[in-house]
């Protein structure tokens, strides 16, 4: 029990420690002068004495090395964070030195070495705190409450250091060497920032990227300034090395011509939070004659074709980013054309615009997604200033991951089936790694639709590159890391242990869950449906066939989920065991067919037979020919439910077209590629191959079940189509495959056969025409969702509309709020349409509550337009006379299809659906 002295000591420590931590602290700078190295050393020493003083104060009331010393340091930390939003790391170090100098010096030395190696404050802090806490707990963990106090202190410091890192002046003491990273060397995105790492990668690949250096957390700014030696003939520009950690847009600061200007820009422009979490990129800036921003594909369906769009201005890039000037716009790849009717006084050479457009398209090919490129032209050469992925105009779709599974186009029924089942299966897998919150009790009866992950263009299947990248970033992976799953999983153990063990449990439970589903659900349902479909004497009714289709649809989604799980698990196991798959393995059905072909080869002569008819006519005359035909029948019984392209329901299965199998056998025997001697597809010996073989066999079982579901679904749909043919709804049974799955489920007797026939003819004609075109594009980009109409068609006639340009598409009706002076914005209310010269960053906090924005100038690629597209906020730019014509309080309609601003009469009867 605590004595009365200790009770008073507890109160004194818990009051004095926060007070001392909050108010005993040296300033970051004296006036405009930065603290020198001597001043920084004095501050360091004062912090050490402060921490040691807290421990000495605690020892006046409690025994030495008691947990109350750690609690006193914790109170000091909380006081410092309350007033200065800093982590009093050095003061804690001084207190721990007095608390246990042996452990602190030993572990601290190891930690500081690690801090220098990491070159990242966050990772170095976590390393030091973990080591010291673990060592102290091991030594003093037998004291009551010590473990709790140690974990509380280290956890609080770690949290504060991630929220408000200490000033870099303190950390630079631990890294006195003037070694700076540059864009000429490969950079790690986690350490240098995504933007700088991207520029570094492009520079290694030979792209024209400006030279640049990085001022990392803890680097010596004075040493860098001495190294760069800026002068009037060689100015610099600075910006953060990545935009992601920042809570605001980062505009580059240009034309910094001397050391004082460069130092002031770095110290006064970027917040301490920005400086602690990433680096500052400093680039040598040429004398820009023209500057521009090029999108590798124009947003918002700017034109019918998706060519690059460029905005360009004379001189510097900053006005383009801010949006306070109206740029020239050029659209096109090989022959860019100036957009607009007014011819500007100065026009850049078209060769520069063409080069920028072609460079942007090369960047898109390099990174696999559309890119935004900032550039400048110095009179001799075009230089890349910055590159970012475009993520503000909707989904990005790619063929890269589906071209093997879905090599051919699908008819509408098969496409809709694959989209529904595929998206549901992918959502099931994603939910394992990113669990969704449980719905409220009132929402339990609502079925949430899976996210859109698959689409079809010209019949070909596309996967959402946007959603897949977002998912992989969530689980701390990337598409580039997937081929090296060993390293990726090892990193996940260190950075995301909960995620790793969730995957491990998922991996180990896959086979058991699969076996249970096969025994309890999949096999019984498939057997029942197969038996009912095989009964010819008593055909099923439309209602029974509809139930079969619904069951098979649901079952197929379950089987596909197991199949995708198995593919991921098999690939991961191969990577972890370092087993490469050099050649494509021979499937079981092909192995069985090759054995039949070998038996025929041993039975018949090898010469004189060239066609399928000759082969099987000769085989029928042989005494043992009947045995071959029986083997083919058994093969069809085992594998006849499959087909050359199983996901295409309109394609016949092998059981329905035995001639295909006979032709296959003929090609194996007498085709250009003769039958090989090895038909077993044997694996290499070893325990690893045996372990993987069992996984492959289970995956083969799942795949066979999936093909069985698809075959039974095809036959059930054809049976439904036979009923519709009898009542005159369809001309032939195969016409059903030109409908979508939802249309099949909703079709009823009242459907007009003539309209249905016209729909089928139209889809057949479009499909056949598209198949005659060249290969599908590898990348397809869709714009924003369908524009909502904001006003009824019965609205009264309006005045002549004002013409502008659509920056963010959506339709809206609301009252105008004019803002001519950006420094003093008016009281902005909800549901207003804000009218400004351009979107200044002081107005960004008000954007979520607005109904729309109109600007008198600016460009499509300015920071305001980008933010409006991200917020799905209607925005029309370049309406020159908007502030002169429109009055505050006037009702407006933004027509984002045409870029018109319509002035509505006050007594207009409208319906606002925005």
As a whole number of Å, the CA-based R_g of the chain is: 35
- Do you know the residue count of the chain? 914
What is the pLDDT, as a whole number, of residue 264? 82
Residue 752 is encoded by which pair of tokens?
A: 């007009």
CA distance 466 to 456: 16
pLDDT band for 51, please (50, 70, 90 cuts). confident
Percent of the chain past pLDDT 90, that is, above it, reads: 14
pTM: 0.58
Q: Which of 330-334, 462-466, 680-684 has the highest mean pLDDT?
A: 330-334
Cβ neighbourhood burial of 260 (10 Å; 0-12, 13-18, 19+): exposed
- The rounded distance, in Å, linking the Cα atoms of 538 and 80 is 84
Residue that wins the pLDDT comparison between 205 and 161: 205
356 pLDDT tier (thresholds 50, 70, 90): very high
pLDDT at 186: 87
Q: What is the mean pLDDT of residues 721-727?
A: 89
Would you place residue 275 in the very low, low, confident or very high pLDDT band (cuts 50, 70, 90)? low
**In the predicted structure, residue 303 carries a pLDDT above the cut 80:** no
CA dist 224 and 222 (Å) reads: 5
Lowest mean pLDDT among 694-703, 750-759, 793-802: 793-802
Whole-number mean pLDDT of the chain?
A: 78
Dump pLDDT digits (tens) for 422-460. 888 888 887 776 655 444 443 333 334 556 788 888 788
Question: Can you tell me the distance from the alpha carbon of 647 to that of 417, in angstroms, rounded to the nearest whole number?
Answer: 9
| Coil/strand/helix, residue 127 | helix
What Cα–Cα distance (Å) separates residue 55 from each residue in 43, 96, 564? Answer: 19, 8, 58
Q: What is the mean pLDDT of residues 349-371?
A: 90
Asked if residues 511 and 570 have their Cβ atoms less than 8 Å apart, the reply is no
What lies within 8 Å, CB to CB, of 519 at 6+ separation is: none
Q: If pLDDT is split at 50, 70 and 90, which confidence band does 468 have?
A: confident
Q: What is the mean pLDDT of residues 300-309?
A: 68
Query: Which pLDDT belongs to residue 673?
Result: 53
Band the pLDDT of 913: cuts 50, 70, 90: very low
Please report the pLDDT score of residue 31 as a whole number. Answer: 46
What 3 state SS string does 239-300 have? Answer: EECCCCCCCCCCCCEEEECCHHHHHHHHHHHCCHHHHHHCCEEEEECCCCCEEEEEECCCCC
Residues 183 and 140 sit within 8 Å (Cβ to Cβ):
no
SS3 826: coil
Residue 170 has pLDDT above 50, yes or no: no
Range in 187-201, 495-509, 749-763, 887-901 the model is least confident about = 495-509
Which residues on adjacent β-strands are paired with residue 780? 397
Name which residue leads in pLDDT, 162 or 8. 8
Environment class of 483 (CB within 10 Å of its CB; exposed 0-12, middle 13-18, buried 19+)? exposed
Q: What is the mean pLDDT of residues 118-131?
A: 61
In angstroms, the CA 5 to CA 103 distance is 30
Tell me the pLDDT tens digit for each residue of 564-577. 888 888 877 777 77
pLDDT digits (tens, 9 = 90+) for 648-664: 999 999 988 888 888 88
Q: Is 60 exceeded by the pLDDT of residue 728?
A: yes
Compute the half-sphere exposure of residue 659: CA atoms within 13 Å on the CB side of its CA: 5
10 Å CB burial of residue 351 (0-12, 13-18, 19+) is: exposed
Q: Are strands 832-836 and 900-903 parallel, antiparallel or unpaired?
A: unpaired
Rounded to an integer, what distance in angstroms lies between the CA atom of residue 834 and that of residue 844?
Answer: 12
Q: Distance (Å, rounded) from C-alpha 604 to C-alpha 432? A: 56
pLDDT of residue 357: 95
Indicate the pLDDT class of residue 177, thresholds 50, 70 and 90. very low
Q: What is the pLDDT of residues 220-254, one digit of tens each?
A: 778 888 888 877 677 888 888 876 544 455 678 88
Residue 781: beta bridge partners? 396
What is the average pLDDT across 9-25? 84
* CA–CA distance, 409 with 766 (Å, rounded to integer): 12
pLDDT in tens, 376-431: 999 999 999 999 888 655 667 788 778 777 888 899 999 999 999 988 888 888 77
Give the confidence band of 608 by pLDDT, cuts at 50, 70, 90.
low
Is the pLDDT score of 831 beyond 80? Answer: no
860/863 Cα distance (integer angstroms): 9
Residue 119: pLDDT above 60? no
Over range 596-610, report the average pLDDT. Answer: 76
Higher pLDDT, 777 or 73: 73
- The arithmetic mean of pLDDT across residues 693-698, rounded, is 84
Average pLDDT over residues 842-870: 87
Compare 789 and 865 and report the one with higher pLDDT.
865
* Per-residue pLDDT at 58 exceeds 80: yes
pLDDT of 47 strictly over 90: no
Q: What are phi and psi of 405, to 5 degrees?
A: -70, -35
Q: What is the mean pLDDT of residues 345-364?
A: 92
Helices (H) and strands (E) in the chain, counts: 30, 25
The contacts of residue 769 (CB under 8 Å, 6+ apart) are: none
Sequence-separated (6 or more) residues with CB below 8 Å from residue 750:
none
CA–CA gap between residue 302 and residue 330 (Å, rounded) = 11
Pick from 20-24, 300-304, 508-512, 600-604: least confident: 300-304
What is the model's pLDDT at position 714? 92
Q: What are 832's strand-pairing partners?
A: 815
Query: What pLDDT score was predicted for residue 313?
Result: 93
Region 43-48: what's the mean pLDDT? 82
């Amino acid at each position: 029990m605590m004595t009365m002295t200790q009770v008073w000591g507890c109160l004194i420590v818990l009051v004095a420690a926060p007070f001392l931590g909050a108010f005993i602290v040296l300033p970051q700078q004296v006036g405009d002068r930065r603290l020198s190295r001597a001043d920084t050393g004095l501050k360091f020493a004062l912090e050490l004495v402060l921490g040691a003083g807290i421990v000495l104060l605690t020892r006046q009331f409690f025994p030495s090395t008691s947990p109350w010393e750690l609690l006193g340091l914790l109170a000091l930390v909380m006081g410092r964070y309350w007033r200065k939003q800093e982590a009093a790391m050095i003061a804690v170090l001084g207190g721990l030195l007095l608390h246990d100098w042996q452990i602190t010096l030993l572990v601290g030395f190891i930690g500081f070495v690690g801090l220098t190696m990491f070159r990242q404050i966050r990772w170095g802090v976590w390393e030091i705190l973990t080591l010291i806490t673990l060592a102290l707990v091991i030594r003093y963990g037998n004291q009551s409450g010590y473990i709790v106090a140690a974990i509380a202190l280290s956890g609080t410091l770690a949290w504060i250091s991630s929220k408000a890192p200490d000033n870099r002046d303190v950390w630079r003491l631990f890294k006195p060497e003037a070694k700076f990273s540059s864009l000429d060397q490969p950079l790690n995105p986690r350490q240098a920032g995504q933007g700088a790492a991207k520029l570094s990668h492009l520079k290694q690949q030979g792209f024209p990227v400006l030279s640049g250096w990085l001022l990392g957390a803890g680097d010596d700014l004075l040493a860098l300034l001495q190294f760069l030696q800026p002068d009037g003939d060689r100015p610099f520009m600075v910006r953060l090395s990545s935009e992601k950690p920042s809570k605001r847009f980062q505009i580059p600061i240009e034309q910094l011509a001397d050391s004082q200007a460069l130092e002031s820009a770095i110290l006064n422009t970027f917040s301490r939070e920005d400086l602690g979490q990433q680096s500052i990129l400093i680039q040598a800036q040429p004398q820009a004659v023209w500057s521009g921003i090029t999108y590798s594909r124009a947003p918002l369906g700017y034109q019918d074709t998706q060519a690059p769009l460029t905005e360009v201005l004379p001189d510097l890039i900053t006005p383009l980013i801010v949006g306070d000037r109206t740029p020239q716009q050029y659209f096109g790849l090989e022959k860019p054309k100036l957009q607009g009717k007014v011819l500007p006084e100065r026009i850049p050479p078209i060769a520069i615009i063409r080069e920028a457009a072609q460079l942007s398209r090369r960047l898109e090919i390099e990174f696999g997604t559309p890119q935004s490129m900032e550039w400048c032209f110095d009179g001799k050469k075009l230089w890349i200033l910055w590159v970012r992925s475009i993520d503000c105009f909707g989904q990005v779709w790619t063929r890269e991951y589906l071209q093997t599974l879905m090599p051919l186009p699908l008819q509408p029924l098969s496409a809709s089936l694959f989209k529904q089942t595929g998206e549901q299966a992918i959502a099931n897998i994603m939910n394992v790694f990113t669990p969704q919150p449980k719905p409220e009790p009132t929402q339990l009866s609502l079925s949430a639709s899976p996210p859109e992950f698959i689409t079809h263009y010209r019949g070909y299947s596309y996967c959402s590159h946007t959603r897949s990248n977002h998912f992989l970033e969530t689980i701390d992976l990337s598409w580039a890391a997937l081929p090296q799953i060993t390293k990726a999983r090892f990193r996940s153990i260190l950075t995301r242990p909960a995620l790793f063990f969730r995957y491990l449990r998922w991996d180990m439970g896959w086979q058991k869950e699969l076996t249970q589903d096969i025994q309890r659900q999949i096999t019984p349902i498939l057997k029942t449906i197969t038996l009912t479909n095989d009964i010819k004497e008593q055909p099923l009714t439309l209602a029974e066939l509809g139930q079969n289709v619904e069951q098979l649809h649901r079952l197929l989604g379950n089987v596909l989920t197991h199949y995708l799980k198995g593919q991921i698990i098999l690939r991961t196991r191969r990577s972890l065991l370092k087993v490469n798959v050099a050649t494509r393995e021979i499937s079981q059905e092909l192995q069985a067919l090759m054995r039949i072909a070998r038996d025929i080869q041993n039975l018949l002569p090898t010469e004189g037979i060239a066609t399928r008819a000759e082969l099987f006519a000769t085989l029928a005359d042989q005494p043992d020919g009947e045995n071959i035909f029986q083997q083919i029948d058994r093969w069809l019984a085992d594998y006849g439910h499959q087909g050359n392209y199983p996901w295409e329901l309109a394609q016949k299965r092998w059981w329905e077209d035995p001639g295909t199998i006979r032709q296959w056998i003929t090609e194996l025997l007498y085709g250009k590629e003769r039958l090989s001697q090895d038909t077993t597809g044997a694996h290499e010996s070893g325990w690893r191959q045996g372990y993987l073989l069992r996984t492959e066999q289970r995956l083969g079982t799942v795949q066979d079940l999936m093909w069985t579901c698809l075959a039974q679904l095809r036959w059930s749909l054809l049976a439904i189509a036979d009923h519709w043919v009898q009542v005159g709804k369809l001309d032939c049974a195969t016409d059903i495959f030109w409908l979508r799955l939802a249309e099949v489920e909703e079709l009823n007797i009242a459907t007009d056969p003539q309209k249905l026939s016209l729909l089928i003819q139209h889809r057949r004609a479009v499909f056949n025409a598209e198949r005659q075109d060249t290969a599908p594009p590898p990348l397809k980009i869709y714009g924003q969702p369908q524009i909502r109409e904001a006003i009824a068609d019965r609205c009264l006639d309006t005045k002549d509309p004002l013409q502008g340009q659509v920056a963010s598409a959506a339709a809206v009706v609301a009252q105008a709020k004019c803002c001519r002076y950006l420094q003093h914005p008016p009281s902005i209310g909800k549901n207003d349409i804000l009218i400004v010269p351009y979107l200044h960053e002081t107005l960004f906090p008000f954007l979520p509550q607005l109904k729309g924005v109109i600007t008198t100038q600016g460009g499509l690629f300015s920071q305001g337009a980008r933010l409006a597209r991200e917020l799905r906020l209607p925005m029309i730019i370049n309406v020159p006379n908007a502030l002169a014509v429109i009055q505050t309080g006037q009702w407006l309609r933004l027509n984002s299809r045409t870029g018109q601003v319509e002035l509505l009469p006050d007594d207009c009867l409208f319906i606002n659906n925005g």
